[in-house]
Structure 1
Amino acid sequence: MTQSDPRSIIANAQAGGYAAGAFNMHNEETTEALVWAAEKANSPIFLQVGRAIIPHMGVRRAFEMTSRIAERSNAEYVIHLDHGSWDEVLEAIRLGFTSVMYDGAHLPFEENIESTRKIVEIAHAFGIPVEAELGKIPDVGVKVDWNEYYTDVEEARRFVAETGVDYLAISVGIVHGVIPDMPLEPINIDRIHEIRQATGIPLVLHGASGLTDREIADAMAAGVHKFNADTDLRHAFRKGFESVWTKGDHQLEEAMAEGRARMVDATVEKLRLYGCAGKSSLPRAA
């Protein structure tokens, strides 16, 4: 199969009141886990080349690995660049990504607008939608003043109007990573609704591994139609791997296979939670 249209996947999610699942791969086995889960759940999926794999493998090799595995499947998929720099976004466009996230959130607001606008112009010339981020997302366990981290509603309104970005990743109390048994502050559902009303475009939440089922449902109702999750899936892979590896003299491949199987199940669970299971526009394989 070839890559699907990300705009159609998000538009269908918006119309149906659910969200697309977007997950990062880290090697061959985790890529297979995501693709196999999408097949098993009959769900569209965003396969994300993200910040962990790029230093390890580079954008090109990660794209080639993901393409090779996904093309052999019957999954409805998009290969998406996650948190891309300027140069990485341009490389992704040349390689054949059909969806990109340009991350200028670390820049001063005016510079973020200007650089994002230029990326949007370039990407749209190739028919590629752009996700951007506004606000700051801390790592789990870091004490922050959330008033300084939340996405500002009026800034979001202006940012979207002046950049033409297609989707906006926002900060509403989410964090990167998960610490087991550590309670997190509830996310601000009202802020999601306010940003959606101000911008009129689908919203994205990163750090979805830390959210409760209730928060997922409320966030979708408020305007979130793409969730990025990674930590829960990595933890599932690790548990599977260690269940074999700690027993002693086993082949590495056997441990990796168990990790992959656990990650398939964890990903299917996410796809069902987001409501996109059963929503693939492609016919099921016979």
Structure 2
Amino acid sequence: MLMNMQALLTIAQKHHFAIPAFNIGSLEILNAVKEESEALQAPVIYEIHPDELAYLKEPFMKTVLEVAHTTSVPCVIHLDHGANRQQILQALRCGFTSVMIDASSYPLDENIRRTKDICELVKPQHVSVEAELGTIGAISKEHVSDIQYSDPVAVKTFVDKTGVDTLAVAIGTAHGIYPTNYKPTLRLDVLKAIREQVNIPLVLHGGSSNPDEEIAQAVALGICKINISSDVKTAFFTETKRYLALHPDAYEPNAIFPSAIQAARSVIANKMRLLNTVGKAYLYK
């Protein structure tokens, strides 16, 4: 059941749960997300970054669309971190029902201008728009840097001037797996202040490796979508490496990948339980 992000997250916000957005960088991970979301009857977001789309190629999107149209659960196909109009237009050609325009590295006025431009371009086609205000952390082997927390007052200005459907806020997360000596802490006070300013669904990027308790609190405070990539891919490729170490002569994908798909499904299931998404598909019927 394919829909746009606004329709998907409006229900999630009303019923106080969040929907995971899993980056599907391969057919195997796409299948893992589809199979587990159907098994748990959990709404889901199929998320693809422009770099992933460049690798997978546009014909792959026909498979994603077929999965989205035939799956038994509500879903969205979302462009993750679109950087410019060209990438947004490619997403429209490919059938995405939601796009992110990420102009968060620009000053507020320019971020507003670029986001408003994309909203005017795609919303008449019933495609939702996500933007970002503030910047989440950048991870190196030893530390996390460059977190710029979202300013609650600026969030209200941004939402009012752009008409954006959803907003990714910066409250202390980072993309990727955190260094072993780093303890991430979410600024839930910032999130509370943002929620007091706006009522649109809020998004949390960098949802891998954060403490479960803080993620659950963020959902309770109004986060409706959480991006998850590294946790799933780490489980998938760790199991792939383990299998190949035990079976060095293996070369058939249908022999190598089934256990990796199961490892990915286990992580997907845990995230869906954490976000209170399990069993929520019935709300969309």
User: TM-score, length-normalised on structure 2?
Assistant: 0.91
Q: Distance in 1 between matches of 2:5 and 2:173?
A: 24
Check whether the contact 1:168–1:202 (CA below 8 A) recurs between aligned residues.
yes
Q: Distance in 1 between matches of 2:272 and 2:190?
A: 24
Q: Distance in 1 between matches of 2:279 and 2:37?
A: 9
Q: Distance in 1 between matches of 2:183 and 2:54?
A: 29
1:127 positional shift? 1.4
Distance 1:252 1:137, change over 3 A: farther
Check whether the contact 2:4–2:126 (CA below 8 A) recurs between aligned residues.
no
Structure 1 SS opposite 2:184: coil
1:6 positional shift? 2.8
Q: Distance in 1 between matches of 2:227 and 2:9?
A: 13
Structure 1 SS opposite 2:115: helix
Where does the alignment leave 5 or more consecutive residues of structure 2 unmatched? none
Check whether the contact 1:76–1:281 (CA below 8 A) recurs between aligned residues.
no
- Please name the residue that 2:249 is paired with: 249
What is the aligned-residue RMSD (CA, Å)? Answer: 2.0
Q: Distance in 1 between matches of 2:249 and 2:178?
A: 30
Where does the alignment leave 5 or more consecutive residues of structure 1 unmatched? none
Amino acid in structure 1 at the alignment position of 2:76: V
Distance 1:82 1:74, change over 3 A: same
Structure 2 SS opposite 1:211: coil
Amino acid in structure 1 at the alignment position of 2:47: Q
Check whether the contact 1:240–1:259 (CA below 8 A) recurs between aligned residues.
yes
Q: Out of 251-260 and 208-217, give the one that drifted further.
A: 251-260
Distance 1:261 1:180, change over 3 A: farther
In the TM superposition, 1:162-241 aligns within 5 A as 162-179=161-178, 181-241=180-240
Structure 2 SS opposite 1:210: coil
Distance 1:282 1:189, change over 3 A: closer
Distance 1:143 1:35, change over 3 A: closer
Structure 2 SS opposite 1:105: coil
Check whether the contact 2:74–2:284 (CA below 8 A) recurs between aligned residues.
no
- Please name the residue that 2:271 is paired with: 270
Partner of residue 83 from structure 1, selected from 45, 63, 81: 81
Check whether the contact 1:120–1:130 (CA below 8 A) recurs between aligned residues.
yes
Q: Out of 86-95 and 40-49, give the one that drifted further.
A: 86-95
- Please name the residue that 1:61 is paired with: 59
Q: Out of 246-255 and 149-158, give the one that drifted further.
A: 246-255
Structure 2 SS opposite 1:251: coil
Alignment of 1:109 with 2:87, yes or no, is: no
1:181 positional shift? 3.4
Amino acid in structure 2 at the alignment position of 1:250: A
User: TM-score, length-normalised on structure 1?
Assistant: 0.91
Q: Distance in 2 between matches of 1:214 and 1:8?
A: 27
Structure 1 SS opposite 2:177: coil
1:103 positional shift? 0.9
Q: Distance in 1 between matches of 2:237 and 2:179?
A: 14
Structure 2 SS opposite 1:238: helix
Amino acid in structure 1 at the alignment position of 2:189: D
1:72 positional shift? 4.4
Q: Out of 87-96 and 275-284, give the one that drifted further.
A: 275-284
Check whether the contact 1:243–1:255 (CA below 8 A) recurs between aligned residues.
no
- Please name the residue that 1:123 is paired with: 122
Check whether the contact 2:115–2:131 (CA below 8 A) recurs between aligned residues.
yes
Distance 1:96 1:22, change over 3 A: same
Check whether the contact 2:119–2:164 (CA below 8 A) recurs between aligned residues.
yes
Amino acid in structure 2 at the alignment position of 1:265: S
Amino acid in structure 2 at the alignment position of 1:226: K
- Note the alpha carbon deviations across 1:99-150, whole angstroms, 9 max, x for none: 111111122221110111011112211112211011112222444364xx11
Q: Out of 151-160 and 180-189, give the one that drifted further.
A: 180-189
Alignment of 1:74 with 2:75, yes or no, is: no
